[in-house]
Every structure is written in structure tokens, then in C-alpha cells.
Amino acid sequence: MIMHRPAAALAVLVLTVSPLYAQDRRLVERLDPVTSTAVQQLVDSARALQLPTEPLVQKALEGSTLGAGGDRIRSAVGALLGQLSRARDALGPAVTDAELTAGAGALRAGLGAETLQRLRALREGRPLVVPLSVLTDLVAEGMTTELAARSVFDLARTGRPDDDFVALRRRVQTELRSGTGRGGGARPAADPPAQRP
């Protein structure tokens, strides 16, 4: 193969420099070399799939700060990569990084991809970060996934603003923590808050 001299020089430059640019300094500085390399490969995979990379870096840094071992960090970052990919499949390509991160959290909490798809359809063209986060929080507070999804769908269906989702979460949180809620199978806060004027 004949290559012109400037083109060959550029190719050599790209091949030499790009791996250096791809290295995230935070990973190199905060993780042991084996873990840093493994996490970097996961980050590169995410980039190749056009998934957000920052949540993966943050997960690794979280593990480092909280004193986790390398195996555990690699496992957590790998799991998050899979959840981001599934979240994108469920929510579609026209989704922000913040929505993908919130979607990954919802999947991690045990909600199904079909729940994310349904919410996307109900909130077509509107931001999803808060509804997805509230959905995840309700499940984390002990509500069943079915009841949490139904409560959030009720609000999404009627086009409620983000504040109403947050109000729902606060009501559930207050009731469950005070012991008055019956989170498992009841409907303590499923009734949507009053419509804003």
C-alpha cells in the first residue's frame, strides 16, 4: 500500500497520541493500575457505544473513596455499563445523559425495561429525569415496583410538572417513615397531588 508522507505521519500521530488522550487521569490517580486499566476499557466501550462515560468514572471513584477492592469496583462499573445500555434500548436514542443515568438507576432498582418504555411514551417530548428518579426512590423506600409504576404513570399521563412527582415522593417518604404507610401493597400516595393552577 502506498501512503503519502503527510498521511502516514498523521496516522502515526493519531495512533500514538489517541490512547494517551483516552486515559482518564482521575482513574489513573485514584485506582491501582490493574483496576484503572480495566475500568478504562469499560469506559472506552461505553464511548464506542455512544453511552455516557462520566457515570462509569464516578462509580469507580465512589468505590475508590469508599474503600472497595478492585474486583468490586470493576464489577460495579461493568454492571452500570450494562444498565446504561439497557436504559438506552428502552428509552430510545433521543435521550440525555442525565435521563440515561436515571434510567439505569431505575433498572438497578428492579424496574423493568417495559416500565421505562411506558414512561417514555407517556412523557413524550418532556424531561424524564425526575419521573425516573421518583420511580426509583419509591421502590427504594419499599413500595412494590407495580405500585410505584402505577403512581408515577398516573402523574405522567396527565402531564403533571416535575414538582408533582417530587411531592408524591415526599408524601410516600413521610408516610412510610412515620409508619403510617403500607408501602407494600397499599396505595398511600398513589393519588396524585392536586392540579396546579
Partner 1 sequence: MRVDPDDAPDGTLERVIAELRRPMRLDPALDQRVLEVLRRDPIAPGPGIDSRARRFRARWIAGVATGALAAGLLVAVLRPEPGTTRPIELRLSAPASQVVVVGDFNDWDPDATPLRPGNEGGTWRVELRLPPGRYRYTFLVDGRRWVPDPAEPRAADDDFGAPTSVLTVS
Binding interface with partner 1 (CB under 8 A): 26, 55, 58-59, 61-68, 72-73, 76, 97-98, 101-102, 105, 108-110, 127, 129-130, 132-134, 136-137, 139-141, 161-163, 166, 169, 173
Closer residue to partner 1 (CB): 58 or 144:
58
Write the CB contacts of 128 (distance below 8 Å, at least 6 apart in sequence): 91, 95, 99, 102, 103, 119, 120
Stated length of the chain: 197
Apex CA 143: angle with CA 140 and CA 147, to 5°? 130
Tell the smallest beta-carbon distance from residue 26 to partner 1 (Å): 6
Rounded least distance, CB 73 to partner 1, Å: 8
Residues 191 and 151 sit within 8 Å (Cβ to Cβ): no
